[in-house]
Amino acid sequence: MAGLFITAATAGAQGLLNPTSTPAPCMVTLDQIQSVNRSNLTQVLETRGDIDSIRNTVWWADNKADYNAPRVALSGPCTIGSPGSYYLTQSFISTGDGIRITASDVTLDMMGFTITGDYDHSDTGIWIDSDWGTAPRYRVVIRNGSVYNFGYGVEAQYLQDGRLENLRVGGNRYYGISLSGYPCNGNSIVNCRARGNGLNGIILSNGRLDGNRIERCTFSGNGGLGIYLCAGSWDRCSGNTVRDCTVSRNSFAGIWLYGWGGDCRGNVVRDCTVSQNQGEGILLDGENGGHCTGNTVRDCSVSGNADYGVYLNGSGGQCSGNTIEGCAISANGAKGIYVVAGSGEADGNAFRNCAVSGNGSLGIYLNATSSVGSVAGTLVEACAVSGNGWNGIGTDWADHSVVRDCLVYDNDGSSSVYTYNSNYGLFEGNHCVDDDAARGIRTGGLTNMMFRNSSYGHTNANYAFFGSLTYGPVYGPSGQLPDPTHAKANFTD
């Protein structure tokens, strides 16, 4: 028991315990926060490396007027036409629109209450209303409540630097949350939940929608898509971020980035769980003359969706220069990753460090469908492809593709890795171990190259060479390797 006590002598040996002076305050006061400006606040916080503090405190500084203004109580359907801070005092039912906002610099705190409609197709629960192209709204904040049973749940038109936070939006006839306008930029949708809406959980479309953030949200059980970013003709939907979201059990795709005649470019989807949707998990689509380019999908889990796990479609348009990395893509009903061009382009896409397993068809499939389309310059690198219902990795009409440093094993079908009608490709450093597939690495086409691969345990042949091929010597099935071993050698059992 003596070891549990500190004696005076022991304490003295550690130095003086009494402070030499009164400790100075270390907290930041509310007045200090409200006195800072955006530039010096960002500079201070960036030196700490605290990204969440940067976002949240800069937002506080930008919206500090909301907390200084007198608060106005609301108890039923109304139009907010002046800047200020408003709050609900009760839940209510509306036979028209719930709350319409026609001013900037408005904060609406729902205080945990619910606004319920009568399911009329023309009504909106909360409507941030702007004049078409002439009077955008700025810095509107809506938080802490629920919106149910309207035609549209929460609709924001021409909103800039707004924030939707801690909202529950469900049971609406069409969309849960909708953003639109020329422009509708820099908005944040944080910690919201859209469930059981008739069409999409959230949609960004009909305008120029750039730099918006959707974070820590749940979109589930909706009758259409979970998350829909759409750039129609002459529209733009670029530089948006979808992060830390759960997207599940929707009746179509989980997440759809669509350049439908417009430009869907430079968006980031990361750290999301996309599962059990009735269409694709994640769809990047540039058809109908549109562009879906330069987007990134990173560190997502995509599983149990009825169709493809990740689908890149350039048919009739362009779906190029996108990056899929660090994703786990498993148990989807069709192909794990599918890239198709049709009469369009799906060039220069990259797939890195993905685990693609247990999908119903091919693990990874690059297919221009014919010489009319183009799936060229694709990189598949450091992926683990296993247990899929057909071939591991396949390329058809996919010129200049690089398949490198992949582990491919236990897939069904004719080959672990194959190319057909694909020219000038490189297959390097892959390791194929497949008791179920007939062939290991099968190559066809013109002037493909095959170096430093290993292929073992296939029922028909570990290597099958067709067409014009440049390859290193194949060592095996047994015995001592020559000294020196050829730098580009392939290996077999």
Helix, strand or coil, per DSSP, at residue 310:
strand
Nearest one of 107, 33, 116 to 77, comparing CA atoms: 116
pLDDT tens by residue, 437-446: 888 999 877 7
- Please report, for residues 270, 284, 310, 381, the alpha-carbon distance to residue 325 in angstroms, rounded to integers and kept in the order given: 10, 14, 11, 9
Q: Tell me what pLDDT residue 17 has.
A: 42
Q: Which amino acid is at 343?
A: S
Give alpha helix (H) positions in 36-106: 38-48, 51-62, 65-68
Pairing of strands 379-381, 402-404: parallel
Q: Tell me what pLDDT residue 435 has.
A: 65
pLDDT tens by residue, 49-97: 444 444 544 444 555 444 556 899 999 999 999 999 999 999 999 999 9
Q: Tell me what pLDDT residue 62 has.
A: 52
Q: Which amino acid is at 297?
A: V
Nearest one of 493, 428, 427, 418 to 459, comparing CA atoms: 493
- Which residues of the chain are modeled with pLDDT < 50? 1-54, 56-60, 64-66
How far does the chain reach from its first CA to its final CA, in angstroms? Answer: 66
Q: Tell me what pLDDT residue 216 has.
A: 98
- As given in the structure block, the two tokens for residue 384 are 């683990």
Helix, strand or coil, per DSSP, at residue 61:
helix
Residues whose CB falls within 8 Å of the CB of residue 357, separated by 6 or more in sequence, listed in order: 328, 329, 330, 331, 336, 363, 384, 385, 386, 387, 388
Exposure string (b/e) for 56-66, b if CB count within 10 Å is 16 or more? ebbbbbbbeeb
Share above pLDDT 70 across residues of the chain, in percent, rounded to a whole number: 85
Q: Tell me what pLDDT residue 485 has.
A: 84
Do residues 257 and 272 lie in contact, with contact meaning Cβ atoms separated by under 8 Å? no
- Please report, for residues 229, 248, 259, 433, the alpha-carbon distance to residue 201 in angstroms, rounded to integers and kept in the order given: 11, 11, 19, 42
